[in-house]
Each structure stands twice: as C-alpha cells, then as structure tokens.
Amino acid sequence: MLKKIHIFITGFAGICAGLIVLLFTDGLNNIELVGIACCAGGAVWLLRYFYTESKTLIGRLDILERDYKLQREKIMQAVMEAKDYKLQAQLLKRQKHNTEAIIYSINDAVIVTDINDRLLLANAQAGEILGFDANNSVLKLLEDLVSDSDIVNLIKKSRQGKIRDVRHELEFETKEGPRIYECIISCIFDENAQICGAVSVLHDITREREISQMKNEFVSHVSHELKTPLASITAYAEMLVDGEASDEKTRKEFYSIIQTQAQRLNRLIEDILNVSRIESGLVKLNKEPISAMLLVRDAVQMIKSYAAEKQIEVEEKTAIVFDQVLGDKDMISQVIINLLSNAVKYTPENGRITVDGEVDESEQVVRIKVTDTGVGIPAEEIEHLFNKFYRVKANNKYAKGTGLGLNLVKQIIEKLHGGRVFVTSSVGKGSCFGFELPLMAQKVTV
C-alpha cells in the first residue's frame, strides 16, 4: 500500500516539477528538456500507479464475483435442502398417517408404548378391550389407563427383559363376556439397538379355542360312537366262538345283534364321510325321480326294531298320492333315518313317534314331519341345532351322539336338493323335525 502511495506521489511530483520548469523557461533549451523529462517521468509513475491500482481492483472484483458465486451456490444449496426437509417432513407426516390408518384398521387390538410404558398409540379395539379412551390417552402411563394388571406387567417385563417377541394367552372380560386373546409383545429397537418401546397386539382366539374344544369333543364322541357298536360285535362274536350260546335260538339272536350293530357302525361312518364329502364338494349325487313317501315307509320299517327296544310306538301317516321328487335315494333315506333315530333316542320309554307325509300342491313341495313325545329342546338352542358338532347340553344325558346327524340332514336337504328343513319343539312335550323337497311336475297314483 505504501509502495503504491509512493509511486503516485513521485509521479505527481515529477509532473508538477516538469510543468514548473516549462512555465518559467523560455525557448527550447536544456532546462525545458529537463521539464519535459520530469513531466514524462511523472506521467510514467502515475500510469504505473493507476495500472497497479486497476489490477488490484480487478482482482478484488474477481474475488467479489467468486464470493458472490459461492454464496449463491450456498444459498441455492440451502434452499434445496430446505425444500428437501419440507418434502421429508411431508413424507414422514404421510407415513405416520398411513401407519396410523393401518393400525386403526386392524381388527386386532394394537398398543404402542414408549420406554417409560407411556401410551404412544392405540387403536379403538385396544381401548374397547382394555377399557380406556384410545383417542385421548397419549403419553399417559399404561398402568393408569388399564385396570388389568396382567397385560401392563407383561409389557413392562418384556421391555425390561429386552425380549424381541413374546406370546401370552390372556382372558379379558368384555361387553360380549369373557374372551381369550393371544397377546404378542414385541420390543422396538432404535438404530443403535437400544430399546425405545414396545408394540402389543391382542388377537381374539376365543373362536379358535371353541373350535378346538369342539374338535376334541367330536373326536371323543366319534370314538365313543364307533366303539360302542364295535364292543357289542366283539363281545357277541367271542361268545359265539367260545360256545357260550348254548341253543340255536340264542345263537340266532347273537347273529342278529352283530348284524344290527355292524349296520349302526356303518351308518355312523357314512354320516362322517358324507359330511366331509359335502363340505369338500366331492359328493357324487345320483339324482333320479323318487318318492319320499316310499322312502319313509322303508325307513319306518327299519327303525321299528330299534324303537321296540324302548317300547316306542312308531306310526306312519303317509299320503296315498305319492310324490315324485328328483333326489338321491340313499341320501334322502339317510335323512329320514337320521330324523327317526333321533326321535327314538330322545323319546323316553313307552313314547310315540308319528311320521307324516303330505303333498302340498299350492307350495309344490312334499313335506315329511317326524313328531315325537320326547324330551324337547330349549327354545334358545333351536337355532344352533343344525350346526356341525352341536349337541343340546341339557339332553346329553339322554343319548350319545356326534352332533353330525342334523347337520347332515340340513346339508342334504338344503344344499344338495334345494329343499328346506324345519323344527318346532317344546321342552318336556316333544319335538317335530321335518323337511320339504320341491315336487317334480309328474305324479304317480297307486
């Protein structure tokens, strides 16, 4: 800087000195030449000053421009980053909404808690099961919200134990009564593998438990039902082999028992197989024009010996005008036999069973009704009667069974033949089970 001032002053002084010399001299002589030289030297020094000054200025301008560009880039970058943050924030917000929407739409109860067991998120199902307001309970301690200490302690234990995934079975009292839930608690870990909370999912397994229980009971019932006739067959066969039946009459009686028990066994196996076949759609129907009335007559004859064991009278009131329906003879027979054998099972000794058959011209159906003087069915159980494996608890003591017979009746009549089953009952007085099948156009009179 000092150097530049020096050049400027020297140049300026040279020009001034040259001009003074030229002003006070007259004519071209050596002194005037000195003045001109001083002016020229001063001018050179001044030019030199301006030249260095301009270079500095250009350099400064360059730096300024570079700085400006740099700043502009930085600003642009910052703007871009800001935009990116905004986008990311929007994305996060959207993701949060989506996650919440997913959680709220799950049928299972979902509870998300933080490291201090405070509620972060819970869907309505969770609130309903555990009895708190899912919308206004965020950041409240779970133990303050949920009265059931089991689940609160389980979540706490899982979190403290840093267990990644744990399953428990819990029972809660709900509006619909006691329900069983499978409770899956999973700990949440952050990027540093530090635990930051827990997600608990409650899945209602009451129905599964009921089905499992029904299946177990079914296996037990089926086993019992299969073994019972088998026990008679085995025992009577052994008696015959060992010569314990001394006379021909006794032997014949034993043969007859073995035969009827074998038929009973076969009916049961057929029932089980038919339910399975119908359900899986594998049933092969052999539909032909048949008369339900005639099948009723055959079935009544078949059931009479079974009814006689309990001194039950079986009366048949079928119409003279025989119906014609399009059906599978074996299956419709099975339906009638199932209804008749049920009537015998649940009618006390010395009771009465009436079988009615009528052709309803106006409805274009044939209607078969089996009415007994049996134990009857409580009104609240009637709607469940045709469910698979369902057995009327109050009537279990009167007879054994698999809970398949009536389900099969319904499936054969309604699913396979387009008919309708019906039932009326009065406890202590008796029941009436029946079915309708659509008539074929043609009728045969005998």
Contact (Cβ atoms closer than 8 angstroms) between residue 390 and residue 349:
no
Residue with tokens 């739409």: 105
292 phi and psi, to 5 degrees?
-65, -35
Residue 146 contacts other proteins per CB under 8 A: no
Nearer to other proteins, 71 or 234 (CB): 234
Residue 402 contacts other proteins per CB under 8 A: no
Query: 195, 235, 326, 427: which one contacts other proteins (CB under 8 A)?
Result: 235
Residue 309 contacts other proteins per CB under 8 A: yes
Residue with tokens 């005008």: 321
Q: Which of the ranges 169-177, 228-236, 384-392, 414-422 carries the binding residues for other proteins, by CB under 8 A?
A: 228-236
Query: 4, 167, 227, 252: which one contacts other proteins (CB under 8 A)?
Result: 227
User: Do the bridges between strand 313-318 and strand 352-360 make them parallel or antiparallel, or are there none, so unpaired?
Assistant: parallel
How many C-beta neighbours within 10 Å does residue 270 have? Answer: 15
Query: 81, 238, 288, 360: which one contacts other proteins (CB under 8 A)?
Result: 238
Query: 175, 281, 397, 428: which one contacts other proteins (CB under 8 A)?
Result: 397
Nearer to other proteins, 104 or 255 (CB): 255
Residue 398 contacts other proteins per CB under 8 A: yes
Alpha carbon 154 to its chain centroid, in Å, reads 24
Residue 242 contacts other proteins per CB under 8 A: yes
Q: Which of the ranges 80-88, 229-237, 312-320, 334-342 carries the binding residues for other proteins, by CB under 8 A?
A: 229-237
171 phi and psi, to 5 degrees?
-115, 130
Q: How far is the CB of 234 from other proteins (least distance, A)?
A: 4
Query: 60, 97, 164, 224: which one contacts other proteins (CB under 8 A)?
Result: 224
Q: Which of the ranges 72-80, 237-245, 285-293, 424-432 carries the binding residues for other proteins, by CB under 8 A?
A: 237-245
Residue 234 contacts other proteins per CB under 8 A: yes
Q: What letters, b where the CB count within 10 A reaches 16 and e where it falls short, cover 198-234?
A: bbbbbebbeeeeeeeebeeebeebbeebbeebeebbe
231 phi and psi, to 5 degrees?
-65, -40
Q: Give the H or E element holding residue 181.
A: strand 177-189
Half-sphere exposure of 108 (CA within 13 A, CB side): 18
Contact (Cβ atoms closer than 8 angstroms) between residue 153 and residue 142:
no
Nearer to other proteins, 84 or 244 (CB): 244
Query: 91, 219, 273, 319: which one contacts other proteins (CB under 8 A)?
Result: 219
Q: Give the H or E element holding residue 208.
A: helix 206-241
Residue 206 contacts other proteins per CB under 8 A: no
Contact (Cβ atoms closer than 8 angstroms) between residue 119 and residue 113:
yes
Q: How far is the CB of 310 from other proteins (least distance, A)?
A: 9
Rounded to a whole number, what is the distance in angstroms from the first to the last CA of the chain? 140
Say how many residues make up the chain: 446
Q: How far is the CB of 109 from other proteins (least distance, A)?
A: 34
Interaction with other proteins in 243-282: which residues (CB under 8 A)?
A: 244, 257, 261
Given the rule CB under 8 A, which residues bind other proteins?
A: 216, 219-224, 227-228, 230-236, 238-239, 242, 244, 257, 261, 309, 397-400
